[in-house]
Amino acid sequence: MTKCRFRTADVSKCVHCHICQKNCVFLAKYGIDIGDTDRLNELAYHCFLCGRCSEVCPVGIDGRQVVMDMRRVQVKQDDGVFVNKKYKRTISEKEDYQYRNYKHITEKSILFPGCNFPSVYPKTTKKLAELLQEAAGIGIIYECCGKPIADIGMKEKEGKIVQGIEERLLTANVTEVITLCPNCYEYLKKNISIEVVNIYEKLRELELGDKISGGELLFRPCPDREKKEWLSDIEYFMESSCSLIENIQCCGLGGNGGVLEPELAKGFAVELKDISGIIYTYCGSCSGNLTRNGCKQVRHVLPEILGTHEKPDTIKSLINRMKTKYL
């Protein structure tokens, strides 16, 4: 069967071919397909929201969306009791982002590093902020895009977060948001009216950054797997193309699936950790989480392009993030 170009959350179309199950460690663990909705609904918070099932379904069922819809309904049904218990820390930090800092906002363009990149790459974040300020008067804001709350299924809170971000940016006359994280990019692009670009196209436009050798393995973050928008901009900075890692579905951090499936989440890194040579990534969450779980050869492309060669700081990541409030 070939892949379907159209996407639907209508699970009644499921023909139980088991292709999603064969491509997902979570579905395989429980022996279910996306079309097994009763069981999937019970296990909705075990999913990594990676979207692999949506990519491979021959009849176009968007499994990721099916799970998202289930989570939203559950939050509504129990008034958020379950998620407030299980994801307390994430919710208390991100529903009204604790480390928000708009002191360095500028008109027109701003750098939006998100919450994870500055947590694991504080030196590179600082260097990049200085470079963009010097080259083009571009400021920086420290903010969470709202995706972690959206992924939990808290639709109402998600709406308030994006509305708040948009209002603050429009009030400051921001017309372009430069993202470092493919998750922020994908999420903000869908949810705010301001133009959202990725850092690699901006660096190229401003003629900043060095070429790196490339020619190694490359682990792509979930949001860029299908469209490969970031990948094509990153390839400009590589002397030779990398081989793509296709068989690992997620870094383990996606969709908060790791909270209820810690072993599956660690397993993704375990499969990569004995590979020799560098594994490049372009997502701070992926590089941090894979490193934390033993895959020490992971390198984010941005510190390499900017010459900091910083390795992910997985020990002080929370402290680094807290500090952004006072920068």
Binding residues for ligand SF4, per CB under 6 A? 14-20, 24, 26-27, 33-35, 47-53, 57, 59, 61, 63-64, 67, 249
Instruction: Report in angstroms how near the CB of residue 226 gets to ligand SF4 at its nearest.
Output: 13
Task: Give whichever of 3 and 190 is closer to ligand SF4, judged by the CB atom.
Answer: 3
Mapped onto helix, strand or coil, the DSSP state of residue 39 is: helix
DSSP 3-state percent helix, strand, coil across the chain (nearest 5): 50, 15, 35
**Among the listed residues 190, 232, 12, 202, the one whose alpha carbon sits nearest the alpha carbon of residue 112:** 202
Task: Give whichever of 255 and 284 is closer to ligand SF4, judged by the CB atom.
Answer: 255
**Among the listed residues 248, 233, 167, the one whose alpha carbon sits nearest the alpha carbon of residue 199:** 233
Instruction: Report in angstroms how near the CB of residue 259 gets to ligand SF4 at its nearest.
Output: 13
Q: Could you write out the DSSP letters of every residue in 235-304?
A: HTTEEEPPEEP-S----S-GGGHHHH-HHHHHHHHHHHHT--S-EEES-HHHHHHHHHTT-TTEEEHHHH
Instruction: Report in angstroms how near the CB of residue 289 gets to ligand SF4 at its nearest.
Output: 15
Task: Give whichever of 32 and 120 is closer to ligand SF4, judged by the CB atom.
Answer: 32
Q: Which tokens in the block code for residue 187?
A: 């999420």
Q: Which tokens in the block code for residue 314?
A: 């997985």
Which residues, 6+ apart, have CB-to-CB distance to 197 below 8 Å? 176, 177, 178, 179
Task: Give whichever of 217 and 222 is closer to ligand SF4, judged by the CB atom.
Answer: 222
**Among the listed residues 243, 232, 234, 230, the one whose alpha carbon sits nearest the alpha carbon of residue 209:** 234
Task: Give whichever of 47 and 217 is closer to ligand SF4, judged by the CB atom.
Answer: 47
On the CB side of 307, how many CA atoms lie within 13 Å of its CA? 6
CA–CA distances in Å: residue 155 to residues 37, 79, 268: 21, 12, 29
Instruction: Report in angstroms how near the CB of residue 38 gets to ligand SF4 at its nearest.
Output: 14
Instruction: Report in angstroms how near the CB of residue 2 gets to ligand SF4 at its nearest.
Output: 12
State the angle between helix axes of 182-191 and 155-171 in degrees (0 to 180), rounded to the nearest 10: 90
Task: Give whichever of 20 and 128 is closer to ligand SF4, judged by the CB atom.
Answer: 20
Distance CA 223, CA 208 (A): 25
Instruction: Report in angstroms how near the CB of residue 66 gets to ligand SF4 at its nearest.
Output: 8
Instruction: Report in angstroms how near the CB of residue 263 gets to ligand SF4 at its nearest.
Output: 14
Task: Give whichever of 210 and 226 is closer to ligand SF4, judged by the CB atom.
Answer: 226
Task: Give whichever of 9 and 140 is closer to ligand SF4, judged by the CB atom.
Answer: 9
Instruction: Report in angstroms how near the CB of residue 277 gets to ligand SF4 at its nearest.
Output: 27
State the Cα angle at 93 between 260 and 179, rounded to 5°: 95
